[in-house]
Structures are given as C-alpha cells and as structure tokens.
Amino acid sequence: MTTPTNNYSFSDLFGTHQSVFREEDINQGEKVFTSSYTPHSIWHREEEMKALVSYFKSIITSPTTSSKKVILYGAVGTGKTVISHAFGNELTQFLARARNHGDPRFRYFHINCRKTKTPHLILTTVLRYLVSGFPLRGFSVDELLRMFTLLLYEQNLTVLLTLDEIDYLLPEERTDFLYSLSRLEESPILREEYGVKERLESRFNLLTITRDKNFRFYLDSSTASSLGRNYITFSPYTRYQLFDILASRAELGLREDCYNDEILDTIASLAEEKGDARFAIELLWKSAKLTDQEGERKISLETVRKAIVDVLPVERSLIDDLNTHQKLILLSIARLLSTCEQSSITTPQVKQEYQTVCEEASIRPRRQTQVWAYLRDLNRLGLIQQHVENRHLNGKSMGRISTIKIRDIPTEEIISSLKHLLVE
Ligand SMILES: Nc1ncnc2c1ncn2[C@@H]1O[C@H](COP(=O)(O)OP(=O)(O)OP(=O)(O)O)[C@@H](O)[C@H]1O
Ligand SMILES: [Mg+2]
C-alpha cells in the first residue's frame, strides 16, 4: 500500500506562519475589527459630542427640571452608535461621581430597535432592568408606559433612553410610541396618582437615532414640536478622517511591520465615497485575513483589491434581519435587475416578479398595500432607492412612474444570500 503524498505540509497549514494580527494581548488582534468592539479612542466627532453634551446638560445641572429630546441623523457607519454609547457611558460615570445624597440616580438605556422591534418589547426590556423578574407578557403598551413613569418617581431616577435604528419600528407603531414618549410626564393618570396640579418633574430624556434624513418630516406636528427641534447631523467621514480611524484600529489589531500608510490610505480612499467607517474597518480586516490565508507576511495593495469584492457596502445583518417577505421582495428586485440590463425597474415589474418568487418559495404573497409598505421599508433602510419619475415617449408625457434601483450592493450578492428561501 502506498502512502498518499500531499503537496502541502499539514503543520504548515496549521500554524507555523505568523499571523498579521497581533496576538500578544487579549484586547488586540481580530477582535478590534468586530462590530461589538468599543474603541477607546473616538476620532473626529468632537463637535457632535459637544452638541450632545450641550443638549443634555440639564441632566447634570438640574436633573428634574426639563426633559430633553434629541435626534441623531447620519448615514451608515458615520459613528452614531459608537458616539451615543460613549456619551451614555461617560455621562453615567460622571453623574455617579458627582452624585450627592438625595440626588436622583441616573440610568442610561441603549435599545437597538432592529433587535428589539416593538414598543412593547422596548418598554419591557427597560422595565426588566429596573425591576428584576418583570414579566415579559401581560401588560399593554399604555400600562407599561405608566409603570415606567411611576418607577422614575418611586426609584428617584433620571433616565436617558436611546432608541437606535428607530427606522426598524413599524411606521404606524413608531408614530404613536414617539408621541407617547414625548408626552410621558404629562399623563393625566400620573397627575391623579401624585395628586399634583402643576407640571410634573421631568425625569425622562430621549435620544433617537435614524438613518433617514426625512425622519423629522414623518412625525406628526405635535411630536415634531417636542422631538424634532434638537437635531445633530453626522456627516460622512472624509478620507483623512477614515485614515485616522483605520490607523488607530490597525495599531491595536495588526503587527506593525505588516501594513503601512499607503495601505491605510488606499482603503480610506475606497471608503470615502460613502464616508462609512464600518466599511473601511471591515475592508482592512478582510485584507489582513486574506494576507494570512495566502501565507503572506504583509498586506499588499493587490490583496486590498481582492478583499473589496468580499466586503458588502452595507452590514450583512441588515439583510439577515429583514422579515421573509421583505427578503423575497429584495430578491425579486435583485433578480430583475440582474437580467434586465437596465439600472432601474418599475414597481409593477417588482410586484409581478414577487408573485413568481413567492410561488417558487411556496409562500402565499402578501397583499399589494403590504408590498408597498415593505418597499418603503427597504427604501428607508437604504437597501433600495425608490424614485418617482415623469416618463415621456415621443415628446408626450406618459405620466408618473415609480422606479427602483439597487446602487450599493451587487445584485449577485443579494441573490446568493437569499436564494435559499426558494424551494429547490
Ligand atoms: N469616530 C470614530 N472613531 C473610531 N471608530 C469609529 C468612529 N466612527 C465609527 N467608528 C467605528 O466604525 C464602525 C461603525 O460605527 P457605528 O456603528 O457607530 O456607525 P453608525 O452610524 O451607528 O452606523 P449604522 O447607521 O449602520 O448603525 C464601528 O466599528 C465603530 O466603532
Ligand atoms: Mg448604528
């Protein structure tokens, strides 16, 4: 019997090659490139941090005299989540140090509406932090709101609640919920309970984070008047800003001799169009990973070019978190665009393709109004771009038509990540 010969040595595959990632410390290496990593240094967001501090200053100076509401707006990867977390943590520490006996205690809650998708779940989550063992079921949203407000008084608390990625709440629920939150301390029941006629103390502050620049305009006028006045815009990062963010991650995560400024600058310039720090960091990570896989010692420009093919300009979990019908609609759009050789398609075309896709998936299609609502969701999340155009033929107006594009994500990527939904 002959021993099979391999053209590789197993021990070489396993580990003799030194990784480009730093491994000396548990706070280094690949970990600093993951989305759950909290950076110690935050770059180029001093103005935004200053604006947050100035809007919420009253939580420090006179904690129960006014209730502040602020909206953060910015495109994908512009640092909204990382800055609000840092602000919440710093404020918590500051207030814990400065607290005198009898002062209200401060609590910061950061809720991601992509994961905690309903007002009911948001309030239950917060209440479970305040009251251990609080039941998951059994109360209406109104009851939960009332209990939450009462607890602020009973536990002598001031709270800052951040609703991150608010775009994920259903529009009809979102409007009512934000209205209720913006009027939390004006509840007549609460006044009765406390037997006070004058204005109640303000103990609740709200930070709302959105990617939708029209968010303010969807609010009804009374919610907008209390919520929409304090607005902070996060602009896309410039190439030089992305470079600094990349350099500080690289310093922590990569061996010094495995990359250089040219590599970082190339990645920064590739990410500049969108100004998206997440994309830039992921591209650096992917380039380092490929370098390791290829057994090389240094990241090369060629490897960066190869890596870019694998990095989606949107977070993959954005697609993973869609519901089945939103996914099927996105798949229909990607299939049409990949075959029609046009940059955009029309809404009726999508509707027709969606019927076919549902048949292939053995799923009953949703009604037209629901399909329109899902298309609006996909548009709001930035996965598609919807436009209304005036079409003309031979100089004659053909009326207004709604068109759909996918600009950022290769259609093949969408098809390959969603085709498992179809029955083979
Ligand atoms: N100014 C910064 N300094 C250091 N790292 C940053 C900075 N801004 C963003 N990052 C990093 O970039 C990534 C994306 O940032 P973040 O999650 O805050 O973006 P976002 O605006 O919340 O995006 P999305 O709209 O997709 O939720 C994270 O890994 C974050 O740590
Ligand atoms: Mg975010």
What is the number of the ligand 1 atom nearest to the C-alpha of 74? Answer: 21
**Residue 58: Cβ-neighbour burial (10 angstroms; 0-12, 13-18, 19+):** middle
With a 6 Å cutoff on the Cβ, whether 218 touches ligand 1 is: no
Q: What is the domain-level CATH number for residue 396?
A: 1.10.10.10
Name the residue of 166, 215, 278, 283 to mutate for ligand 1: max ligand atoms within 8 A of Cβ: 278
Q: Are 113 and 169 in contact (CB under 8 A)?
A: yes
Torsion of CA 313, 314, 319, 325, to 10 degrees: -90
Amino acid at 171: P
CA of 361 to the centre of ligand 1 (A): 36
Q: Whose CA is nearest to atom 25 of ligand 1?
A: 76
Nearest Cα neighbor of 67 from 152, 175, 145 is 152
Query: In this structure, is residue 160 part of a structural domain?
Result: yes
Q: Whose CA is nearest to atom 1 of ligand 1?
A: 43
What is the C-alpha to C-alpha distance for residues 113 and 254, in angstroms, rounded to an integer? 33
Q: What is the domain-level CATH number for residue 162?
A: 3.40.50.300
Q: Whose CA is nearest to atom 18 of ligand 1?
A: 79
Name the residue of 36, 78, 82 to mutate for ligand 1: max ligand atoms within 8 A of Cβ: 82
Domain final residue pick, 201, 234, 267? 234
**Could you give the count of Cα atoms lying within 13 Å of 227 in the half-sphere of its Cβ?**
30
CA of 84 to the centre of ligand 2 (A): 9
Q: Whose CA is nearest to atom 9 of ligand 1?
A: 79
Q: Whose CA is nearest to atom 26 of ligand 1?
A: 76
Domain final residue pick, 308, 342, 365? 308
Query: In this structure, is residue 122 part of a structural domain?
Result: yes
Same domain (yes/no): 94, 30: no
pLDDT for position 275: 93
Same domain (yes/no): 86, 216: yes
Q: Whose CA is nearest to atom 7 of ligand 1?
A: 79
Domain final residue pick, 270, 291, 308? 308
What is the number of the ligand 1 atom nearest to the C-alpha of 211? Answer: 25
Nearest Cα neighbor of 39 from 280, 264, 274 is 280
Pairing of strands 231-234, 105-112: unpaired
Query: In this structure, is residue 57 part of a structural domain?
Result: yes
Q: What is the domain-level CATH number for residue 261?
A: 1.10.8.60
Query: In this structure, is residue 86 part of a structural domain?
Result: yes
CA of 43 to the centre of ligand 2 (A): 16
Amino acid at 18: Q
CA of 11 to the centre of ligand 1 (A): 38
Query: In this structure, is residue 224 part of a structural domain?
Result: yes
Same domain (yes/no): 81, 228: yes
Same domain (yes/no): 24, 157: no
Query: In this structure, is residue 359 part of a structural domain?
Result: yes
pLDDT for position 217: 74
Same domain (yes/no): 254, 298: yes
Which tokens hold the place of 357?
Answer: 């896709």
Same domain (yes/no): 200, 84: yes
pLDDT for position 209: 96
Same domain (yes/no): 83, 201: yes
What is the number of the ligand 1 atom nearest to the C-alpha of 85? Answer: 18
Query: In this structure, is residue 2 part of a structural domain?
Result: no
With a 6 Å cutoff on the Cβ, whether 82 touches ligand 1 is: yes
Query: In this structure, is residue 29 part of a structural domain?
Result: yes
Q: Please give, one letter per residue, the 3-state secondary structure of the chain.
A: CCCCCCCCCHHHHHHHCCCCECCCCCCCHHHHHCCCCCCCCCCCCHHHHHHHHHHCHHHHHCCCCCCCEEEEEECCCCCHHHHHHHHHHHHHHHHHHHCCCCCCEEEEEEEECCCCCCHHHHHHHHHHHHCCCCCCCCCCHHHHHHHHHHHHHHCCEEEEEEEECHHHCCHHHHHHHHHHHHCHHHCHHHHHHHCCCCCCCCCEEEEEEECCCCHHHHCCHHHHHHHCCCEEEECCCCHHHHHHHHHHHHHHHECHHHCCHHHHHHHHHHHCCCCCHHHHHHHHHHHHHHHHHCCCCCCCHHHHHHHHCCCCCCCHHHHHCCCHHHHHHHHHHHHHHHHHCCCCEEHHHHHHHHHHHHHHHCCCCCCHHHHHHHHHHHHHCCCCEEEEEEEEECCEEEEEEEEEECCCCCHHHHHHHHHHHCCC
Give CA separation, 59 vs 92, 196, 335, in Å: 11, 23, 51
Q: Whose CA is nearest to atom 13 of ligand 1?
A: 278
With a 6 Å cutoff on the Cβ, whether 252 touches ligand 1 is: no
With a 6 Å cutoff on the Cβ, whether 314 touches ligand 1 is: no
Query: Mean pLDDT of residues grouped by 10 in the chain (424 residues)?
Result: 57 67 81 90 96 93 85 94 96 91 90 92 96 92 91 90 91 87 72 57 90 80 79 96 97 95 94 91 94 93 85 73 93 91 85 94 93 89 80 67 80 84 74
What is the number of the ligand 1 atom nearest to the C-alpha of 82? Answer: 18
Same domain (yes/no): 165, 107: yes
**Could you give the count of Cα atoms lying within 13 Å of 361 in the half-sphere of its Cβ?**
21
Same domain (yes/no): 28, 98: no
pLDDT for position 359: 94
Give CA separation, 273 vs 270, 279, 315, in Å: 7, 11, 16
Closest ligand by atom to 316 CA: 1
Q: Whose CA is nearest to atom 4 of ligand 1?
A: 42
Phi and psi at 388, nearest 5°, equal -110, 125
Could you tell me which residues are beta bridge partners of residue 346?
403
Same domain (yes/no): 103, 139: yes
pLDDT for position 306: 84
Same domain (yes/no): 113, 202: yes
Give me the residue label for tokens 């005036």: 390
With a 6 Å cutoff on the Cβ, whether 253 touches ligand 1 is: no
CA of 230 to the centre of ligand 1 (A): 21
Same domain (yes/no): 165, 113: yes
Domain tally, the chain: 3
Give the range of the structural domain holding residue 188, as residue numbers without chain letter: 46-234
pLDDT for position 28: 78
